[in-house]
A and B are shown apart, each in its own frame.
Chain A
Amino acid sequence: MIRITKFIFLDILKNKIVLFYTILLAAFSWSAFSLEDNSAKGLLTLLNIILLTVPLVSILFSTIYIYNSSEFIELLLSQPIQRKTIWISLFTGLSLSLMVGFFLGAGIPILIFAPDKVGFMMLTIGCIISVVFVSIAFLSAIITRDKAKGIGISIMLWLYFALLFDGIVLFLSFQFAEYPIEKAMIGISALSPIDMARILILLNLDVSAMMGYTGAVFKNFFGTSTGLIISFAILLLWIVIPFFISLTKFKHKDL
Chain B
Amino acid sequence: MIEVKNISKRFGKLRVLDDINLSLKKGECVAMIGPNGCGKTTLIKSILGMVMPDNGEILFQDNSIKNNFTYRRHIGYMPQIGRYPDNMTIGQVIEMIKNIRKSDDVLDDDLLRQFKLEALFDKKMSTLSGGTTQKVSATLAFLFNPDVLILDEPTAGLDPLASEILKEKIILEKQKGKLILITSHLLSELDDLITQLVFIQEGKMVFHKNLETLREETGEEKISKAIANILKQQA
Interface string of B79-103 (1 = CB under 8 A from A): 1000111110000010011011110
Tell me the complex Cα distance, A191–B203, Å.
47
B49 beta carbon closer than 8 Å to chain A: yes
Q: How far does the Cβ of B140 sit from chain A's closest Cβ, in whole Å?
A: 9
- Whether the Cβ atoms of B69 and A78 lie closer than 8 Å is no
- Known contacts A254-B50, A255-B50, A255-B51; is A79 also within 8 Å of B85 by CB? no
The answer to whether residues A76 and B85 also contact, given A252-B52, A254-B50 and a CB cut-off of 8 A, is no
Across the interface, which residues of A come within 8 angstroms of B72, CB to CB?
78-81
Given A69-B85, A71-B84, A71-B86, does the pair A79, B100 have CB atoms closer than 8 Å? yes
Task: Find out whether the CB atom of B51 lies under 8 angstroms from the CB atom of A75.
Answer: no
Chain B residue at smallest Cβ distance from A82: B69
Residues B70 and A75 in contact, CB atoms below 8 Å apart: no
Asked if A77 contacts B50 (CB within 8 A), the reply is yes
* Nearest Cβ on chain A to B192's Cβ, whole angstroms: 28
Docked CA distance A14–B45 (Å): 32
Interface size on B, residues (CB 8 A): 27
How many residue pairs between the two chains, A and B, have CB atoms under 8 Å in the bound complex?
Answer: 60
Name the interface residues of A180-218: CB closer than 8 Å to any CB of B: none
Residues of A in contact, count (CB < 8 Å): 23
Residue from the list B50, B69, B85, B101 in contact with A71, Cβ < 8 A: B85
Any B CB within 8 A of the CB of A74:
yes
Max chain B C-beta neighbours (<10 A), residue from A74, A76, A79? A79
By a CB distance below 8 angstroms, the chain B residues around A79 are 72, 97, 100-101
Interface residues of B (CB under 8 A from A): 11, 45, 48-52, 69-73, 75, 77, 79, 83-87, 93, 96-97, 99-102
Secondary structure at chain A's binding surface: helix, strand, loop or mixed? helix
Q: Give chain B residues whose Cβ lies under 8 Å from the Cβ of A252.
A: 52
Contact yes or no, A255 B96, CB < 8 A: no
Q: Does A38 contact B (CB under 8 A)?
A: no
Instruction: Give residues 93-114 of A contacting B (CB, 8 Å).
Output: none
* Contact (Cβ within 8 A) A80 B69: yes
Could you name 18 residue pairs across A and B whose Cβ atoms are closer than 8 Å? A3-B100, A3-B102, A14-B87, A69-B85, A71-B86, A72-B84, A74-B50, A74-B79, A75-B83, A75-B93, A77-B49, A79-B97, A80-B71, A80-B73, A81-B69, A254-B51, A255-B50, A255-B51
Contact between A78 and B100 (Cβ–Cβ < 8 Å)? no
Min Cβ gap B44→A in Å is 10
Q: How far is the CB of A118 from chain B (nearest CB, A)?
A: 41
In whole Å, how far is B108's beta carbon from the nearest beta carbon of chain A?
A: 16
| 10 tightest A-B CB contacts, nearest first | A71-B83, A80-B73, A80-B72, A78-B77, A254-B51, A82-B69, A255-B50, A72-B85, A71-B85, A77-B50
